[in-house]
Structure 1
């Protein structure tokens, strides 16, 4: 039931995060170009598109029981997951509002404010979860209430910060300009969402495939151990992803193509250095780290067996998110979506199935397919980045700002068409 709940709810969060990253491209470049007034309008356009997408995703949440039964889940698990998915609908709509706000603030480098708010909400969330789940014994309902409240408090806190006047150049109130160019904005948002979802869905497919191995209990548990390590490491890598995305978009928007190119090299080297340290820690503690997650000797043995692939994953996941961040900052989302299809679904997935099932390598083979697809993707992204004409990209960014800005950059027109909040 937990696995089904994670898959259903994560579809919404991944799609919202991916579609919201379109704002990272446009807002970052506009801010770098010295046209901050466009950021507020872009954020409102993103709200309209993401809230509309949330309405469509609502049907997946509502009809999650038959969807899960279609993928082989039992009736009991499907019904419980469906009930939990309904409880989590408020969180879906919080995502639709939150991610555009996040990109709006990130593009202006207001990172410390975001960190303080996130830390405060985390403390509240931990306390509320303890109260509702452990103290009051509200089980999954308590967890859902805690998550929904935490997300909406986070949303309201950041929005209050914006309208309170702390973003005077980029927020001038609600504007009818938000309804202009929605189709073009939707296409970029959709490409961004597909780019991220293709990576996430591959991991979910991998989880399902592991469940069909000859000894699924041990294999799934061992994979969960390793995925926890990957998840911890990804928190660092996603920080580099956001940082390089904002920096590249800001510098391209400002026409500083040399600084954009330099930032790519600096962040790439730094992230790889962190990955090497993490890889070394895993290899040195390959017999010990599974004990952090399980007492089962069989699971520990299986996790140790794939520790080499886990270490390789960490080094790849140090560079790949950085290159993906460069793509977002430069606006290459549609191209990256095609690359992801080829690397993960044409190469990685078939390779994993051959190694895991046909050659009886089990989890080792399935994870090997993942590594193969990720290696190919990283090589392609590295070549694409290395061969990029950054001066041309700065020109493209300038044209994009002109195309999407319209009259937003004109203060008088913005004031006449906008309605202050």
Structure 2
């Protein structure tokens, strides 16, 4: 009996270690997933409501979301992501007073970047025509792009605030704000698109209002005195060393853009097919679901980054490797669950976006490919993150 007890101890220790690491990981990943999913679901909901307006409207919103916004989103997210490195270093060095300076510096850079990229929205129709997209889709997408310019500038404010709060693990208020924002967005779409029948104008208005409500709420949270050490008010120091900040931001932007722009390339390529409206509609349904599940993976990505940084900073490289294993296995398990759901509902999930039978049938045929892609993408972003840690 004694020998049996001795044999059981290593497995019990291992189980306790896995359980302990899982709790630490979910404490970080849980809120991050909720924020990512909630904010991405704003576009997800918009596409769903637009799909029930008609095939052309669904295609136009898809082109806007995945081509025009997909192009600028990667740049804006990358420019804001530079803040993650700087804020993390400042927290580690105990220089909390620099966090507010970095946040303001990032706002300046992302704001200027937004101004420089605004012509992409204003000239969306000629850009899409130049890329040989369907003329009817390009025309409507161009009109919709102009309607959603306000939410583009909300991105410029949102991404730096996220990194500012995540670096200090102050994420639950941001999570609550994001969830409430998503709920408001659903109600606004129902009221403006379904009940008042404002069409794409209603969808654009709902998106603009929802994004700015979230950004304003988070700005108030930051400046209202909850961060006395890291936010000491506006400072002219934010205008110093901008070029060094820009170089770091550009490096982050290039890396993220290469990851995100392949979705843009897919939408553009299917736009060359014989029936572009049907092709864009069906592929957009699958891409939106894939991107939605990727937001969950992004939460594990953030958790892996924080846990590995913590353990390496404490001089525990073996613990850092163990953290990676736990995060990857958890993300893989979630990927298997999502894959099973897609396979089980491959004839039904397109109905979330449209009631057109041709589109539903075409999207259903892509179910197996969608399931496989979701499974592979459940671990790739987490592993990729470790290459530069």
Give the drift of 1:78. 3.4
Q: Aligned runs of 1:19-418 on 2, under 5 Å?
A: 19-213=79-273, 219-252=279-312, 257-283=317-343, 303=363, 306-326=366-386, 332=388
Superposition TM-score, scaled by structure 1 size: 0.70
Determine the C-alpha separation between the residues in 1 that align with 2:87 and 2:235. Answer: 16
CA-atom RMSD in angstroms? 2.8
Q: CA 1:263 to 1:35, structure 2 compared with 1: closer, same or farther past 3 Å?
A: farther
Structure 2 SS opposite 1:189 = helix
Determine the C-alpha separation between the residues in 1 that align with 2:152 and 2:355. Answer: 36
Q: CA 1:223 to 1:92, structure 2 compared with 1: closer, same or farther past 3 Å?
A: closer
Q: CA 1:29 to 1:53, structure 2 compared with 1: closer, same or farther past 3 Å?
A: same
Q: Deviation digits for residues 61-117 of structure 1, max 9, x if unmatched? A: 222221111012355543433332222222111111111001111111122111111
More off after superposition, 46-55 vs 6-15: 6-15
Determine the C-alpha separation between the residues in 1 that align with 2:158 and 2:146. Answer: 20
Determine the C-alpha separation between the residues in 2 that align with 1:295 and 1:146. Answer: 22
- Number of aligned residue pairs: 329
Determine the C-alpha separation between the residues in 1 that align with 2:195 and 2:163. Answer: 36
Q: Deviation digits for residues 34-75 of structure 1, max 9, x if unmatched? A: 332222111111111111111110121222221111012355
Contact 1:91 1:151 survives alignment (8 Å): yes
Structure 2 SS opposite 1:246 = helix
Contact 2:346 2:367 survives alignment (8 Å): yes
Greater RCO (Cα-Cα under 8 Å, separation 6 or more) = 2
Contact 1:121 1:150 survives alignment (8 Å): yes
Determine the C-alpha separation between the residues in 2 that align with 1:124 and 1:293. Answer: 19
More off after superposition, 92-101 vs 121-130: 121-130
Superposition TM-score, scaled by structure 2 size: 0.75
Determine the C-alpha separation between the residues in 2 that align with 1:314 and 1:74. Answer: 29
Determine the C-alpha separation between the residues in 2 that align with 1:71 and 1:218. Answer: 18
Give the drift of 1:306. 4.4
Give the drift of 1:179. 1.9
Q: CA 1:147 to 1:200, structure 2 compared with 1: closer, same or farther past 3 Å?
A: same
Q: CA 1:125 to 1:281, structure 2 compared with 1: closer, same or farther past 3 Å?
A: closer
Q: CA 1:249 to 1:94, structure 2 compared with 1: closer, same or farther past 3 Å?
A: farther
Determine the C-alpha separation between the residues in 1 that align with 2:233 and 2:211. Answer: 23
**Where in structure 1 are there 5+ consecutive unaligned residues?**
333-392, 394-421
Q: CA 1:326 to 1:165, structure 2 compared with 1: closer, same or farther past 3 Å?
A: farther
Give the drift of 1:118. 0.8
Q: CA 1:213 to 1:75, structure 2 compared with 1: closer, same or farther past 3 Å?
A: closer
The answer to whether 1:5 aligns with 2:81 is no
Contact 1:44 1:178 survives alignment (8 Å): yes
Moved over 6 A (4+): 294-298
Q: CA 1:305 to 1:124, structure 2 compared with 1: closer, same or farther past 3 Å?
A: closer
Give the drift of 1:284. 5.3
More off after superposition, 40-49 vs 69-78: 69-78
Q: Deviation digits for residues 271-325 of structure 1, max 9, x if unmatched? A: 1121123334444555665666667776666556544433321222111121344
